[in-house]
Amino acid sequence: MRTRFSRGFAVATLACSVALFPLVASASDNKIVLVPGGPHPYFAPWEQAAADAQKDFSIASVEYKVPSEWKLELQTELLESLAAQGTTAFGIFPGDAVGINSTIGEFKANNIPAVALGGCAQDPTDMNFCMATDVYQSAYIGTKALIEAMGGKGAVVHMAGLLIDPNTVLRVQAVEKAVAETNGAVTLLQTIGDTDSQEAGDQKVNALLASSKDKVGGIIATGYVSSVVTATALKNLGDKRIKMIGIDDDKIVLDGIKDGFVSGTMAQNPYGQGYIGAYALDLIAGGCTLKADAPWVKTPQTAHFIDSGTLLISSANAETYKDDLKALTKKIQGSFKDTYLTCP
């Protein structure tokens, strides 16, 4: 049974600034928590983002809390426990795109705003907005880059992420579209799901290479762990014929690019999601409201989407891509208030 919570705190009015990474003159009393759907290395930058946002925007508290397992009921129990302890606002990666909405509805009834970060809740939802990678576009760009690395022909395998992840279906659709655009020159040999965990990923990618490596011309991996285990398997195989595009910037994947076993990887911006998300939540908890006429992007999941940014890391920019992501984060944060919010 869920624990009901009451809200017994006052929200202070926030003096807002739109300068890049500003020093805010007056402190906020808000207590913000960033909560992913479960343990996963993708979310590790949220911890530093929380600490930096608390300092840079003079927020009373910004914390990073992780459920013990990737189960919706564990996420909602954690969220409701934190709400009962006086949390002012939440940044959440939904453990389930639909199932999370009842909890978010309870939060709204108690004047606790929430935003979706990294992955979106399914409309209708009381999430204020969703800030995440445009995962469809990212997977599409990555697959196009893979096809180019393959010389425009051959068979592709898609190592897909967790099937419970709301982003997986979009990535599958994007890979299928990019392959279809080759008019048969490239074929999708197989889509292998639930590879975004160490044990399952290792088992599935090595089984694929053991049985079908001669048929495979390229692998697109659209999960963090999927990319790591695929890059490791290709290096162990020692054959650079099979091309690979991954996602995220784990050291193993970056080393694979350096050593020629990986053609590239799609960078996301989890730090920016956490940092900008905490900044926005502080403003919303302080009385700001969403602009109806803001340049929201409408997606299959939500009508209030903000792209947190993506780019292809290759041998050409492997040493400089972090500067590009930092600049992107500054740009989004610096214009966020004026673009998306109306503040008192």
List pLDDT tens digits, range 23-74.
443 579 999 999 999 999 899 999 999 999 999 999 999 999 999 999 999 9
pLDDT tens per residue across span 208-241: 999 999 999 999 999 999 999 999 999 999 989 9
CATH superfamily of 28-133+269-342: Response regulator (3.40.50.2300)
Residue of 274 and 166 predicted with greater confidence: 274
Predicted confidence (pLDDT) per residue in 117-162, tens digit:
999 999 999 999 999 999 999 999 999 999 999 999 999 999 998 8
Contact 101, 95 (CB under 8 A): no
The angle at the Cα of 292, spanning 291 to 297, to the nearest 5 degrees, equals: 100
Which residue, chain included where needed, has tokens 């990887």?
A: 265
Give phi and psi for 35, each to the nearest 5.
-130, 110
Q: What's the predicted TM-score (pTM) here?
A: 0.81
Contacts of residue 6, Cβ cutoff 8 Å, sequence gap at least 6? 84, 110
Q: Where in the chain is the domain with CATH 3.40.50.2300?
A: 28-133+269-342, 135-267
Please say whether the structural domain 135-267 has been given the CATH code 3.40.50.2300.
Answer: yes
Quick one: pLDDT at residue 26? 52
Residue 165 per-residue DSSP state: S
pLDDT surpasses 80 at 5:
no
